Amino acid sequence: MSSLSAPVSVLLALWAPLPSSRGVVVAGPGPHLVRDQRTGALVPLGAWLDAVRPLRRCAALLPVPGHGLPGGVPAGDRGQAVLLEGAADPPGTAVVLIPQGDGEAWRADVLEVVVPPLDATQLRREVHLATEEAIAALTGLDLARERPELADELTDLVTAVVDPRLLPPMPSRRRDLLERSLRLAGLCERALEDDGAAASAAQAARRADVLRPLLAVARRGVCAATEWWA
C-alpha cells in the first residue's frame, strides 16, 4: 500500500500538544531552530515549544498558494504554518511557526487576528464530495490514455495511508479526515503539476479550473484534522 506524505507543519501540529520530544523528531532530522520575531533570539524548537506549553489550541495552516496567512502574515515559500495558542496567553493571542526554505529553520510570528475554529464535520462532507468530483474529473480527462504511468500513480493515491509511526494517538474520525484530505490533495497536486499529460494548453487550463478549488478543500480538511483544543 502506498504511503501518504504529510507536510512538516501537519506533523508538528499533531505532536506539539504532547509534552514529548517526538514532536521535534517528526519535524525532521537535525537541530531545528526557531527565530522569534519579537526577540530575535534563535532557540531550539523543543525548548521553544516547552516555553509556550501548555497549549490551549494548535492547528496546521495550509494557505492556498499565492495567499498569505490570516492577518497578512507571509506564509513563506512552503505555504504552511502551525498555529499555537498558549493557555497562559490572553484568548485570541496566537503565534504561528513558519518553516523556512528546505532547511531546519522556523520563523515565529505573532498573529494579530483571531482564526475561527475549523468545522471538521462540515469539512468531512466537503472532502468526500470533492474527492468524488476529482476522480470524475480526472477520469473525464482520460489521463490513462494520455499518460498511463500518471494514471497508475493517481490510482495508488486513492488508497494510500500515512505511516502510523509518524502519528500520535488520535481519534479515528480525525485520522480518517486527515488521510482522506491528504489523498485528495495528492490527487490534485500530482495532476496539476504534470502539464505534460495535457494534450493542449486549453486542456491544462480546464484541469486547473476544476482541480484548484478541490485542492483548497483538501487543504482545509487537513487543517481541520490537525486542530486540537485543550
Q: Is 164 a residue whose pLDDT tops 80?
A: yes
Most confident by average pLDDT, 38-42, 145-149, 219-223:
219-223
**Average pLDDT for 190-208:** 72
Domain limit, last residue, from 111, 135, 163: 111
> Which amino acid is residue 216, in one-letter code?
A
CA distance linking residue 12 with residue 7, whole number of Å: 9
- Number of domains present in the structure of the chain: 2
* Grid-cell match 498511463, residue found: 148
Give per-residue pLDDT as tens, 30-85: 668 898 776 777 888 888 898 889 999 999 999 877 778 888 887 777 889 999 99
> End of a domain among 111, 137, 161?
111
Residue 199's domain comprises 120-229
Cell of 203: 486542456
Residue 60 confidence (pLDDT): 97
> CA 47, CA 133: separation in Å to the nearest integer?
44
What CATH number should be reported for the domain holding residue 31?
A: 3.10.450
> Model pTM?
0.90
134 and 202, same domain (yes or no): yes
Q: Which residue has the cell 488520535?
A: 170
pLDDT in tens, 98-131: 988 766 689 898 888 899 999 999 999 999 999 9
